[in-house]
Every structure is written in structure tokens, then in C-alpha cells.
Amino acid sequence: MDNTSTRTAHPVYEDVLALLTAAGFVSLGIFLFHQVGLLTGGTAGLALLLQQVTGISFGLLFFGINLPFYALAWLRIGPRFTLNTFVSVAAVSYMTDHLNGVLQIGNIEPLYAALIGGTLIGMGLLIMFRHKSSLGGFNILALFIQDRFGIRAGKLQMGLDCAIVVASFFVVQPWVLALSIVAAVICNLVLTLNHKPGRYQIA
């Protein structure tokens, strides 16, 4: 049965609660990656990489890198998506930078960080996508292409994320690169298996 006609927008309070929950998942996943030196794809991966090189906090880098993408989101996808994405990016930036104040991890196996961190980020992104939001950057591009051409956002995001991680070959050790790719695949498998074109509209 076609349920398109009965699909309604989430109320504002549901969006707020969902985006804060999603930001919590994503920030914890990024926190686990940072603990063992793993990278990820998209603007989050670029921010993690630049953090290692510059010493500037992840939150400031992540928030700043995403600023240029809001114009595309506003023009191509819509004001609501742009505002929700801005809130998501700001929340992830703040939470990630302040997790050390509420969470201390003495030891974590890198493989576990890759598997669980990738899953947490994937689940966070899934919630964001279903509430007309994203983490900016390549997420905006992936959702736009899915909406226009029917290519699953998860598949496109997987390719882009793996490309970013592979581009870090000369910066990190091979085992870190390998686990980062595993984490990227896990993250985007969550999206590919659970986010189907047409099930949730982004505009």
C-alpha cells in the first residue's frame, strides 16, 4: 500500500528531541574514534584529521567546515532541512568537545571502537535523516542526490567516506587506516539497510 498521502511532518518538539538524541550518538561515536586515533569520512573525518595536525578542537573545526554547505542545503533542499542540520552540527560540535567532562575511558580496543563507534554514528545519522536533518557536508550532497536520482544515500555516503579515509593514507598508520575503513563501512551499512528512498522525504 502507498502511504505517501498519509505521511506527515514531525512536530517541532519531536524534531528537537530526536536531533539531540542523534547528536548524542554521533558525538559518542566520534569520541570513541578520537580515543584510539581513528578517522571517519565526510566533514567529520576532515575535522578529526585537522585536529591532529593543528590542535584546534574538533567542535570548532567541524562547525566551521560545514558553514559553506548550508547555502546548498537552503537552495536545493529547503529551509527546514537547513535549520535542522545547523542544529545537529552545532549540537555534535558542542557535545563532542565536552564529553571529556562527563566521560573518561581508561582503555578501549581499537577494533571495538571502530565497530561500536561506526554503529553509533550510523544510528545517529539515520535519526537525523528521518527528521529532515544531517551532519552537513557530504550528507547534504548524498541526500540531495537520493531525492533527485533515487540513489541510496547510504551507498553514496559509503563511497565518499571511504575516499576521505583512503586520502589519509600518508597521515596515519596502515592499521589505523584499515580500522577507519571498517568503521566507515559499518556506519554506512546502517544507513543502506535502514534508509530507503521515498520512505522519508527530505523536502
pLDDT tens string 1-56: 344 444 557 778 888 999 999 999 999 999 999 899 888 777 888 888 788 788 89
pLDDT, tens digit, 9 for 90 and up, residues 81-105:
899 999 999 999 999 999 988 988 8
pLDDT, tens digit, 9 for 90 and up, residues 111-146:
999 999 999 999 999 999 889 888 888 777 777 788
End-to-end CA distance of the chain: 22
Query: Confidence class of residue 77 from pLDDT cuts 50, 70 and 90?
Result: confident
Give the mean pLDDT of 143-155.
Answer: 78
Strand, helix or coil for residue 77: helix
Nearest to 143 by CA among 98, 91, 88: 88
Asked if residues 193 and 154 have their Cβ atoms less than 8 Å apart, the reply is yes
The pLDDT of residue 1 is 38
Res 200 pLDDT > 60 = no
Polymer length in residues for the chain:
203
The pLDDT of residue 195 is 67
Copy the grid coordinates of residue 149. 536520482
